[in-house]
């Protein structure tokens, strides 16, 4: 379904209020309304460097995020604007414009660091916007990237993050792609007297120095962080858009009033972002929707506000709890809605109801599997199974009540003449019992011809006969046309027929119990099959994520080897080796057989039997 989600103008998502970050509830509600995957592009950089202009262009507008026309920074906190993703109707583009870093009026470096960290945590593409060239001063201004390991943790166990640069693979899993946007670039793109591309210019600026001195370490640190943490990097240069006197009118100017080179550079930038940006994911490859992004925003800001450090592993677990609980509710709601639509009570047989239940349960399971993630102990799937089984029993009970109600009405209608004759003592005469017997037999024949009586048809007929036992006996004993021996024979015959009807009802109950048992076996097998399918898809996502991390590390290893940094290359080789081992384990079927064995123990129903059949 094509995305029609579009905000008329940006709203504040995270406000920087008195040096404290506060989430705007209205913005969270807007974000939560996006059920599609979101591609999140965030821009960061020093204040008054034209960040907002690029974001407006990505939104396909000239204005929206305030550009400002003075030396004061306009954007405070993080502002959000979402629009349909160009060319991808099944996704939504979420743009985050951040407060300018290094604002002299604010003078709060810690606050700047948190803004930068949040932009990294929330985005799938991060644009770093700066003025001029990439020199040491520009790198020094990007010191925020060197602080990320202090502000963001990938694992909840401190020892696992102690050597962040050496074990940066975990960060690559959830860090965004990195784009460096160089504004008002005036130099010729040349290296050693030869023309070069923007990316070659960036790579040259990212080269490390050899040596172990404090000065070399400080020089290398921001470059190493960008190399090790971000899966990909790209560079764009922009000429000055217009002359200085018109800069304050930038959002009012038409394209033909801007420098042609700047216009084309902006188009290339937007095309690249649209073409290469991926939906936001969390570790494990689970794609983030607007609803999930809203939960992430709240989780991170709450953690920062309480003095903690955002941890991706903890955030994912918290999201899983929220989403899996909601997935159970969604799936249950889907099941009830479908059953109410498709089930016409009473059903002729229990099997008919169970057949409808099976289809509705399967669709509900698909709803659950689509939304749930990281339900590693299958506790939420087990909860759903129990809930749907209870709902099924409720429908079975309601089916019996409707059937009983309908059968009673049918019998009352068919036996009206019989009741009148009994009331008027019509059968209290010689030969009356035979007339009574024939009338009851005729009612039985007509009753059996009535359609859709339901599962309680035999039980209600038996109740009808029981209600007439005393009347029948009285008519039989008072019939002077019959001998005592004949009366005894008729009484024995009536008792035998009643016993046979009771036996038939018991056989029916036994058959229904077996049908329910078989349905539970079917339900469990269906749950196991859905779980297998989901785990296979999850494994594919993990392998895709793993391969992406490996490709990033292999690229860096190649660069390090060419530049003669053997120590760095060896460290990367160790990481690549570990990643390859993890991939091999994931490719083996035994990787999730243990989980399925565990699932067979905790999922309700006839698990063991179902698996062994």
Query: What confidence tens digit (pLDDT) does each residue in 516-525 have?
Result: 999 999 999 8
Separation between Cα atoms, residue 86 and residue 289, nearest integer Å? 17
Residue 158 above 50 pLDDT?
yes
Out of 257, 277, 310, a domain closes at 310
Out of 283, 310, 337, a domain closes at 310
- Chain-wide mean pLDDT for the chain? 86
Quick one: 206 and 332 in the same domain? no
Residues 6+ apart with CB under 8 A from 345: 398, 399, 402, 403, 454
Q: Provide the token pair at 398.
A: 């309601």
Quickly state the pLDDT bin for 3 (edges 50, 70, 90): very low
Separation between Cα atoms, residue 568 and residue 547, nearest integer Å? 20
Quick one: 214 and 131 in the same domain? yes
Separation between Cα atoms, residue 155 and residue 534, nearest integer Å? 24
Quick one: 296 and 416 in the same domain? no
Asked, for residue 297, whether it belongs to a domain, the answer is yes
The pLDDT of residue 249: 61
Separation between Cα atoms, residue 231 and residue 129, nearest integer Å? 18
Quickly state the pLDDT bin for 588 (edges 50, 70, 90): confident
The pLDDT of residue 135: 85
Asked, for residue 371, whether it belongs to a domain, the answer is yes
The pLDDT of residue 138: 86
Asked, for residue 454, whether it belongs to a domain, the answer is yes
The pLDDT of residue 346: 95
Residue with tokens 């504004």: 183
The pLDDT of residue 589: 61
> Angle at Cα 412 formed by Cα 408 and Cα 414, nearest 5°?
115
Asked, for residue 424, whether it belongs to a domain, the answer is yes
Asked, for residue 280, whether it belongs to a domain, the answer is yes
The pLDDT of residue 162: 44
Distance of CA 182 to the CA centre of its chain: 37
Question: Dihedral of CA 516/518/524/527: which sign?
Answer: negative
Asked, for residue 214, whether it belongs to a domain, the answer is yes
Quickly state the pLDDT bin for 401 (edges 50, 70, 90): very high
Provide the strand spans (E) within 170-317: 177-183, 190-191, 194-195, 233-237, 281-282, 286-287
Separation between Cα atoms, residue 361 and residue 330, nearest integer Å? 12
Residue 497 above 60 pLDDT?
yes
Q: What is the DSSP string of 395-418?
A: HHHHHHHHHHHHHHHHHHHHTHHH
Query: What confidence tens digit (pLDDT) does each residue in 46-64 have?
Result: 876 678 889 999 998 887 7
Quick one: 244 and 378 in the same domain? no
Residues 6+ apart with CB under 8 A from 99: 16, 47, 73, 75, 76, 77, 78, 112, 115
Residues in the chain: 613
Query: What confidence tens digit (pLDDT) does each residue in 309-356 have?
Result: 998 889 999 999 999 999 999 999 999 999 999 999 999 999 999 999
DSSP 8-state class, residue 158? G
The pLDDT of residue 423: 93
Query: What confidence tens digit (pLDDT) does each residue in 345-386 have?
Result: 999 999 999 999 999 999 999 999 999 998 988 899 999 999
The pLDDT of residue 208: 92
Query: What confidence tens digit (pLDDT) does each residue in 70-123 have?
Result: 333 445 789 999 999 998 999 999 999 998 876 655 556 788 889 999 999 999
Asked, for residue 550, whether it belongs to a domain, the answer is no
Separation between Cα atoms, residue 171 and residue 548, nearest integer Å? 12
Separation between Cα atoms, residue 207 and residue 50, nearest integer Å? 27
Out of 264, 285, 310, a domain closes at 310
The pLDDT of residue 607: 42
Quick one: 201 and 346 in the same domain? no
Quickly state the pLDDT bin for 245 (edges 50, 70, 90): low
Residue 67 above 70 pLDDT?
no
Residue 160 above 50 pLDDT?
no
User: Which residues does residue 84 pair with via DSSP β-bridges, in sequence order?
Assistant: 92
Q: Provide the token pair at 333.
A: 């709601």
Quick one: 344 and 220 in the same domain? no
Separation between Cα atoms, residue 417 and residue 317, nearest integer Å? 70
Count structural domains, the chain.
2
The closest of 235, 166, 168 to 205, measured between CA atoms, is 235
Q: Helices in 343-468 by DSSP H: which ranges?
A: 350-371, 379-414, 416-423, 432-449, 457-467
Query: What confidence tens digit (pLDDT) does each residue in 526-569 have?
Result: 998 998 898 888 888 888 888 888 898 899 889 888 888 888 88
The pLDDT of residue 71: 34
Q: How many CA atoms lie within 13 A of 355 on its CB side?
A: 7
Q: Which domain holds residue 228?
A: 11-310
Residue with tokens 């029916």: 508
* Residue 43 near residue 55 (C-beta atoms within 8 A): yes
Give, in order, the Cα–Cα distances in Å from 101 to each of 43, 76, 77.
11, 10, 10
Q: What is the dihedral of CA 550, 556, 560, 561, to 10 degrees?
A: 50
Quick one: 339 and 232 in the same domain? no
CATH of residue 93's domain is 3.40.50.300
Quick one: 83 and 232 in the same domain? yes
Separation between Cα atoms, residue 263 and residue 265, nearest integer Å? 6
Quick one: 340 and 295 in the same domain? no
Separation between Cα atoms, residue 10 and residue 539, nearest integer Å? 38
Residue 152 above 80 pLDDT?
yes
Quick one: 235 and 343 in the same domain? no
The pLDDT of residue 594: 55
Query: What confidence tens digit (pLDDT) does each residue in 191-218 have?
Result: 888 999 999 999 999 999 998 899 998 8
Separation between Cα atoms, residue 262 and residue 237, nearest integer Å? 9
> What are the phi and psi torsion angles at 12 (to 5°)?
-75, 125
Separation between Cα atoms, residue 594 and residue 606, nearest integer Å? 18
The closest of 399, 398, 407, 395 to 459, measured between CA atoms, is 407
Buried b (16+ CB within 10 A) or exposed e, 116-132: bbbbbbbbbbbbbbbbe
The pLDDT of residue 276: 94
Quick one: 44 and 193 in the same domain? yes
Average pLDDT over residues 423-445: 92
Asked, for residue 49, whether it belongs to a domain, the answer is yes
Residue with tokens 């953690």: 303
């Amino acid at each position: 379904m094509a995305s029609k989600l579009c905000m008329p103008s940006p709203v504040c998502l995270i406000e920087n209020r008195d040096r404290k970050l506060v989430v705007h509830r209205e913005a969270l509600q807007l974000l939560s309304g996006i059920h599609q995957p979101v591609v999140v592009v965030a821009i960061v950089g020093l204040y008054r460097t034209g960040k907002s202009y690029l974001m407006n262009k990505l939104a396909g507008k000239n204005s929206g995020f305030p550009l400002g026309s003075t030396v004061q920074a306009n954007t405070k906190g993080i502002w959000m604007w979402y629009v349909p993703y160009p060319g991808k109707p099944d996704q939504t583009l979420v743009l985050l414009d951040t407060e300018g870093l290094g604002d002299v009026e604010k003078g709060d470096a810690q606050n700047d660091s948190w803004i930068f960290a949040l932009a990294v945590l929330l985005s799938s593409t991060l644009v770093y916007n700066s003025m001029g060239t990439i020199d040491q001063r520009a790198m020094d201004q990007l010191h925020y990237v060197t602080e990320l390991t202090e502000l963001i943790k990938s694992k909840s166990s401190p020892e696992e993050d102690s050597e962040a640069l050496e074990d940066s693979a975990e960060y690559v899993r959830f860090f965004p792609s990195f784009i460096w946007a160089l504004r008002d670039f005036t130099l010729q793109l040349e290296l050693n007297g030869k023309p070069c591309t923007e990316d070659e210019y960036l790579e040259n600026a990212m080269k490390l120095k050899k040596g172990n001195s404090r000065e070399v370490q400080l020089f290398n640190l921001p470059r190493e962080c960008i190399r090790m943490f971000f899966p990909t990097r790209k560079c764009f240069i922009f000429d000055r858009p217009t002359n200085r006197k018109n800069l304050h009118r930038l959002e009012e100017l038409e394209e033909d009033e801007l420098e042609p080179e700047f216009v084309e550079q902006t188009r290339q930038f937007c095309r690249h972002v649209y073409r290469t940006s991926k939906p936001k994911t969390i570790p494990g490859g689970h794609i983030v929707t607007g609803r999930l992004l809203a939960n992430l925003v709240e989780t991170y800001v709450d953690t920062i506000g309480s003095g903690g450090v955002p941890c991706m592993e903890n955030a994912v677990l918290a999201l899983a709890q929220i989403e899996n609980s909601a997935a159970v509710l969604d799936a249950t709601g889907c099941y009830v809605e479908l059953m109410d639509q498709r089930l016409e009570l009473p059903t002729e047989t229990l099997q008919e109801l169970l057949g409808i239940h099976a289809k509705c349960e399967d669709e509900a399971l698909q709803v659950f599997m689509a939304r749930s993630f990281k339900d590693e102990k299958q506790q939420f799937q087990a909860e759903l199974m129990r809930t749907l089984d209870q709902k099924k029993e409720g429908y079975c009970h309601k089916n019996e009540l409707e059937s009983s109600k309908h059968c009673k009405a049918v019998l009352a209608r068919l036996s009206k003449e019989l009741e009148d004759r009994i009331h008027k003592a019509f059968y209290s005469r010689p030969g009356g019992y035979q007339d009574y017997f024939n009338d009851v037999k005729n009612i039985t024949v007509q009753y059996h011809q009535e359609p859709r009586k339901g599962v309680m048809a035999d039980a209600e007929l038996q109740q009808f006969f029981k209600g007439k036992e005393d009347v029948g006996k009285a008519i039989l004993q008072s019939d002077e046309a019959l001998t005592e021996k004949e009366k005894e024979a008729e009484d024995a015959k009536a008792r035998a027929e009643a016993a046979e009807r009771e036996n038939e009802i018991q056989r029916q109950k036994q058959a229904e119990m077996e049908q329910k048992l078989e349905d539970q076996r079917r339900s469990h097998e269906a749950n196991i099959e859905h779980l297998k399918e989901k785990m296979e898809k999850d494994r594919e996502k993990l392998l895709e994520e793993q391969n992406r991390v490996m490709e990033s590390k292999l690229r860096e290893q190649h660069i390090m080897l060419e530049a003669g940094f053997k120590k760095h290359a060896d460290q990367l080789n160790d990481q690549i080796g570990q990643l390859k081992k993890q991939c091999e384990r994931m490719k083996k079927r035994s990787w999730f057989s243990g989980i399925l064995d565990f699932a067979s123990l905790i999922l309700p129903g006839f698990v063991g039997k179902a698996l062994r059949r």
